Chains A and B, each alone.
Chain A
Amino acid sequence: MNSVVSDETLHAFVDGELDVSESEKLIAQMRDEKELAQRVCGIRSLQSMVRLAYAEPPVASGRKRHAASGRVVMQRCAFGCLVLLAGLSGGWALRGLESNAVVAAPSTFPGGYQTVSLGRVADPNRVMLHLDSADPGRMEAALDRAEQLLDEADRQGRTIQLEVVTNSHGINLMRAGVSPHAARIARMTQRHANLHLVACSQTIARFTGQGQKVELLPAAKVAPTAIGEIVTRLQQGWTYVRV
């Protein structure tokens, strides 16, 4: 009976190398021939013993690590260089997108503001304005720009999503008791439900660490990081405008 099924076939069966019909035939045969079942069982137990034997191979002692350390340092340097290169080329690529987008939608964003979007054409209906400075002129410009975009969309009957993202000193725009435009922001958010204000929580943590108490205007929400928020929105197809 043993000679009927070769060892090779049984191994192939155990290793899942047989096709379905061959396997089924063998399983049926195993029901009748206990010896065959025993052989399969033997192969399986050998296999599990081999797996057990190498489940936790002994770790090399420290002596060889030193020999490799020079190489490891070189490799890390090489990796660092690659990351740098990726960053630089990423920046270069984004620069291209930026100019493309400006060319693509010059009419939507008048006033010399540069826009960035990952799409071929900047989406005028999903826009984030990024403010990272407490310069009064830029704060005002951010709100002017927001109002202008919202009103324009209203006039044209478009639904626009607008997000003002602030970090660094730009967060002052959204701080209760600090913002010079609290009343205007309250008015704007009341008029436009599609206006969102987002502050960077890392900036808040930094300010708090410096002993400043940071309280945001009721309309403002918090994002883990401003950069993360911007990148996520860009990936979702939003258009980025730095004020």
Chain B
Amino acid sequence: MDYLLRHPNMTMISRLLFGPFRPSIEALRPVLYRIAYAWCHDAALADDLVQDTLSKAWARRAQLRDEASLKAWMVSIMNHCWLDHLRSRRDFDDVEAWEDILESGAESPEACCNREQVIACVRLAVSRLPLGQRQVLTLVDLEEFGYAEVARILDIPVGTVMSRLSRARASLKSLLEPAAQQSAAQPLLRRVK
């Protein structure tokens, strides 16, 4: 009985003292920033999102049950920050800027072979995906989260994760066809002769 009474207390104290300390939360900043940027394609906004996420994670650190899932937990917090942000401002004033780049990229798809342009083209294509697809795609491709983890993070069924991913990759493929063909063609060259 004594042990039972004492045990949860000790865990609580050790969690408080040694739990997800600021450094381990801070260490995820680059990871979060990459995801945030892939979601919103705006460096300043991504920075704000990450900052928001870090302070919220710190404030709610007691809620984290399993420290192994720290990253997924923080990404799900960031998802909420992102959705809050979208709700608070429904106008996307940056869309026009993106359309400019879109056109400049679309005019010369063959130029996509150069590294910087591939990067610009892919970012552009990703930014044009519907938000839900964009989130699933970036979490799976950039951070290699499992489907079940993505489902938990975004609070959607696994089936939805799979269908969104499938649609996202299909649209990316059609948007990036020239560049994708170029890189996909390489291993096939041997067969063609």
Contacts and interface: CB of A to CB of B under 8 A. Distances in A.
B43 A45 contact: no
User: Mostly helix, strand, loop or mixed at chain A's interface?
Assistant: helix
A84 to B, nearest CB: 13
A12 B162 contact: yes
Interface stretch (A35-43, A104-112, A156-164): A35-43
B14 to A, nearest CB: 11
A54 B43 contact: no
Interface stretch (A58-66, A168-176, A235-243): A58-66
A75 interface: yes
A88 to B, nearest CB: 12
Interface string A135-149: 000000000000000
B22 interface: yes
B172 A50 contact: yes
B170 A7 contact: yes
Interface in B8-50: 17, 22, 33-34, 37-38, 43-44, 46-48
Nearest to B115: A52
A51 interface: yes
Contact of B47 (A45, A47, A64): A64
B43 A59 contact: yes
B74 interface: no
Interface string B130-165: 000000011011101011000000000000001101
B79 to A, nearest CB: 17
Given A50-B172, A52-B122, A53-B123, A8 B55 contact: no
Nearest to A34: B191
Interface residues of B, number: 44
B176 interface: yes
Contacts of A54: 34, 37-38, 123, 138, 142
A22 interface: no
Contact of A46 (B58, B172, B191): B172
A13 to B, nearest CB: 12
B141 A47 contact: yes
B44 A61 contact: yes
Contacts of B38: 53-54, 57
B63 to A, nearest CB: 17
B43 A61 contact: yes
A168 to B, nearest CB: 29
A47 B191 CA distance: 23
A8 B162 CA distance: 6
A47 B169 CA distance: 9
B142 A51 contact: yes
Given A49-B183, A54-B34, A64-B44, 14 more contacts: A7-B166, A7-B169, A8-B162, A11-B162, A11-B169, A15-B146, A15-B147, A42-B173, A45-B183, A49-B180, A50-B141, A50-B142, A60-B43, A86-B17
14 contacts: A7-B170, A8-B163, A8-B166, A11-B165, A12-B162, A34-B191, A38-B188, A45-B184, A49-B118, A50-B138, A52-B115, A59-B43, A64-B44, A64-B48
Interface of A: 7-8, 11-12, 15-17, 34, 38, 41-43, 45-54, 57-61, 63-65, 67-68, 71, 75, 79, 86, 89
Interface of B: 17, 22, 33-34, 37-38, 43-44, 46-48, 51, 55, 58, 115, 118-119, 122-123, 126, 137-138, 140-142, 144, 146-147, 162-163, 165-166, 169-170, 172-173, 176, 179-180, 183-184, 187-188, 191
5 nearest A-B pairs in the assembled complex, by CB-CB distance = A53-B122, A60-B47, A57-B37, A60-B43, A45-B183
